[in-house]
């Protein structure tokens, strides 16, 4: 398993030398955070601190690129390149789910509260803390809506979008449970209450 993981890590590409565009690809595309999470997982599992640090750096960069004000504004279906900033639509739940998974893994490995806060912010995106202030998670049915258009939510609730919403909410619950077990006061406990409001934080 370690050999397979090491081989996979070698195929992840190299971080860009351009300080303004660290990403290993010329454009952000689809489920982008997976590339950072893979480095974090491989670096931690294989005992490669440099690879772990590279993954965390890329994830921090992606969080910054995909954040507008106090909420996530994810890369749209058309991608995003150097100099292109949000908000931009259509935004897809798969991008949010990948971010939740990556930040939750970074938190599990490092214990740093910034990753917990980012994970919770993804859940808030589904609950309405996004560019339109509209919820993509249907509390009545448990379904996830298919995307954020320029002026509305795509009301279709497909399996991929529902699983994406559930992923983000489950990652959030794990982090909140970990915080309660640790009985510590951190960004985890200060951000978490926003999840009960189901909308943009004031």
β-bridge mates for residue 72, sequence order: 67
Please report the pLDDT score of residue 79 as a whole number: 94
Q: Looking at per-residue confidence, does 192 or 140 come out higher?
A: 140
Please report the pLDDT score of residue 195 as a whole number: 52
Mean pLDDT of 31-39: 96
Q: What is the pLDDT of residues 182-199, one digit of tens each?
A: 765 444 444 444 454 344
pTM of this structure: 0.87
Query: Which pLDDT band, with edges at 50, 70 and 90, does 164 fall under?
Result: very high
Q: Check whether 111 has a pLDDT greater than 70.
A: yes
Please report the pLDDT score of residue 197 as a whole number: 39
Rg (CA), the chain: 16
Q: What is the pLDDT of residues 47-89, one digit of tens each?
A: 999 999 999 999 999 999 999 999 999 999 999 999 887 678 8
Question: Tokens standing for 23?
Answer: 């990403």
E-strand spans in the chain? Answer: 67-68, 71-72, 137-138, 143-144, 147-148, 153-154
Give the C-alpha separation, 36 to 16, whole Å. Answer: 13
Q: Check whether 201 has a pLDDT greater than 60.
A: no
**Comparing C-alpha atoms, which of 121, 119, 169 is closest to residue 144?**
169
Question: Tokens standing for 186?
Answer: 């951190």
Q: Check whether 144 has a pLDDT greater than 70.
A: yes
Please report the pLDDT score of residue 200 as a whole number: 44
Please report the pLDDT score of residue 180 as a whole number: 83
Question: Tokens standing for 94?
Answer: 């798969």
The matching CATH number, chosen from 1.20.1640.10, 1.50.10.20, 3.40.50.300, 1.20.1510.10, for 28-78+85-193 is 1.50.10.20
């Amino acid at each position: 398993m370690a050999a397979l993981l090491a081989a996979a890590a070698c195929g992840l590409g190299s971080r860009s030398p351009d300080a303004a565009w660290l990403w290993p690809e010329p454009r952000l595309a689809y489920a982008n955070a997976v590339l950072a999470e893979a480095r974090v997982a491989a670096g931690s599992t294989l005992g490669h601190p440099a690879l772990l640090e590279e993954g965390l750096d890329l994830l921090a960069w992606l969080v910054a690129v995909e954040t507008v004000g106090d909420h996530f504004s994810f890369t749209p279906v058309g991608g995003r390149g150097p100099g292109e900033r949000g908000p931009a639509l259509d935004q897809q739940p798969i991008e949010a789910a990948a971010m939740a998974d990556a930040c939750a893994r970074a938190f599990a490995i490092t214990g740093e509260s910034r990753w917990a806060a980012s994970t919770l912010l993804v859940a808030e995106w589904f609950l309405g803390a996004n560019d339109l202030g509209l919820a993509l998670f249907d509390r009545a049915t448990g379904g996830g809506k298919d995307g954020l258009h320029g002026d509305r939510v795509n009301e279709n609730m497909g399996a991929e979008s529902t699983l994406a919403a559930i992923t983000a909410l489950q990652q959030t619950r794990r982090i909140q449970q970990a915080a309660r077990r640790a009985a510590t006061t951190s960004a985890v406990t200060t951000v978490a209450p926003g999840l009960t409001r189901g909308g943009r934080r004031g």
